[in-house]
Structure 1
Amino acid sequence: MYFGKARKKGPLDRVPPNQNVTTSFPVLHYGNVPYYKTLDDWDLKIFGLVEKEVILRYKDLMALPQTTSGNDIHCVTGWSKLDNVWEGISTQELARLTYPKESAKYVILHAEENWTTNLPIEDFLKETSLLAHSHNGEELTPEHGYPLRAVIPHLYFWKSAKWVRGIEFSSENRPGFWEENGYHMYGNPWKEQRMTWD
């Protein structure tokens, strides 16, 4: 499934193989879109192989140092959206609150409806990785992950979980929802790691 027109001009090194550039922002997900009337009961739990487990309310997250990051994103279904600007909290900042243990080699992102995805800790802590609350100057919409979504731009975008509620540091690389259903365990768009056999 493809969206938009194929890129004809410009810096081709920004577009992985067999991707088409779109200026829209397609909405793809499994399950229901959560709508919050209030964030009074919302929280983010950081747990697992850490020295200090932390539970953060939304106001706590907004009080942390904020970062802005520009990047391109690439969906496993074949679209790429260039020149995105995200605002949120650096994953490195979140790790500083909890002190992951040396035995923590992977991160499992937990989202609403028990949805998960996995990635190596190095990818989670990359300088370009963050948990975002805003996109291109506007608060995220529910369809795009409000109030908080991961942004791991160097991997296929299913690794950038919407509606994040938990960050688990783990010694095991446990497959998440899409990985259990045939998607690649890593998801490098430049190597076209879309499915298990890629």
Structure 2
Amino acid sequence: MYFGKPRKKGPSDRVPPNQNVTTSFPVLHYGNVPYYKNLDDWTLKIFGLVEKEVVLSYQELMDLPQMSSGNDIHCVTGWSKLDNVWEGVSTLELARMAKPKEEAKYVILHAEENWTTNLPVEDFLKDTSLLAHTHNGEPLTPEHGYPLRAVIPHLYFWKSAKWIRGIEFTSENRPGFWEENGYHMYGDPWKEQRMIWD
């Protein structure tokens, strides 16, 4: 599958307010960068308000149907990178496996070092959302989230958690790491929802 809208206009209609386009891929994160010697013990857990808890090895994840998605990404710190192509597994595919319950209104993404971020379930399940292992034809580097990161391109990029290890469906909108430290609970780049007071 490929999701991505054809572009008929120049970059100006693609860049949210107060963002600057970069051709590089800046590295921003809090805490350590995890380096994996192998992925034998790596798992992705889908849990919470689901009909069936799912735990996937890396190979099991790679054996699922794969998708490609083209999009632009926008960092809360002010940079935008256009024309990215990601490869990975659709969040819809993962939800089909776990079957979220009706009362599941939010998703908490869990990453290494107990890092989390939150988003509404409908944003997680958009057809442009995925868990990616490849960017522009190359495997993710450790600094950019190897072996797996979320890609939620319509929100500021801190919502696209690196080094993801868990997907929790919940009825509560619990703030994650950056949200607890003053970032906006939603993070729409077109509305400049950078901080909690925006």
TM-score norm. by structure 2 comes to: 0.95
2:181 maps to a residue whose letter is N
Distance 1:171 1:194 in 2: 24
1:39 maps to a residue whose letter is L
Question: Does 1:154 find its partner at 2:176?
Answer: no
Distance 1:110 1:43 in 2: 12
1:93 maps to a residue whose letter is E
Fraction of identical pairs, as percent: 87
1:33 maps to a residue whose letter is V
Distance 2:11 2:45 in 1: 39
What secondary structure sits across from 1:86 in the alignment? strand
Residue 130 of structure 1: aligned partner? 130
Residue 78 of structure 2: aligned partner? 78
1:58 maps to a residue whose letter is Y
Shift of 1:11: 3.2
Structure 2 unaligned blocks of 5 or more: 1-8
What secondary structure sits across from 2:33 in the alignment? coil
Question: Once the two structures are superposed, what CA deviation does each residue of 1:55-86 show, in whole Å capped at 9, x if it has no partner?
Answer: 00000000000000000000000000000000
Residue 87 of structure 1: aligned partner? 87
What secondary structure sits across from 1:50 in the alignment? coil
What secondary structure sits across from 1:162 in the alignment? coil
* Structure 1 vs Structure 2 CA RMSD: 0.8
1:22 maps to a residue whose letter is T
Give the alignment of 1:8-157 within 5 angstroms.
Answer: 10-157=10-157
What secondary structure sits across from 1:26 in the alignment? coil
Distance 2:194 2:178 in 1: 10
Residue 3 of structure 1: aligned partner? none
Shift of 1:13: 1.2
Structure 1 unaligned blocks of 5 or more: 1-8
Shift of 1:10: 2.4
1:62 maps to a residue whose letter is M
What secondary structure sits across from 2:73 in the alignment? strand
Question: Once the two structures are superposed, what CA deviation does each residue of 1:7-26 show, in whole Å capped at 9, x if it has no partner?
Answer: xx923110000000000000
1:155 maps to a residue whose letter is L
What secondary structure sits across from 1:147 in the alignment? coil
2:30 maps to a residue whose letter is Y
Distance 2:52 2:15 in 1: 40
Question: Once the two structures are superposed, what CA deviation does each residue of 1:98-134 show, in whole Å capped at 9, x if it has no partner?
Answer: 0000000000000000000000000000000000000
2:157 maps to a residue whose letter is F
- After TM superposition, which residue ranges in structure 1, 4 or more long, deviate above 2 angstroms? none
Distance 2:71 2:16 in 1: 14
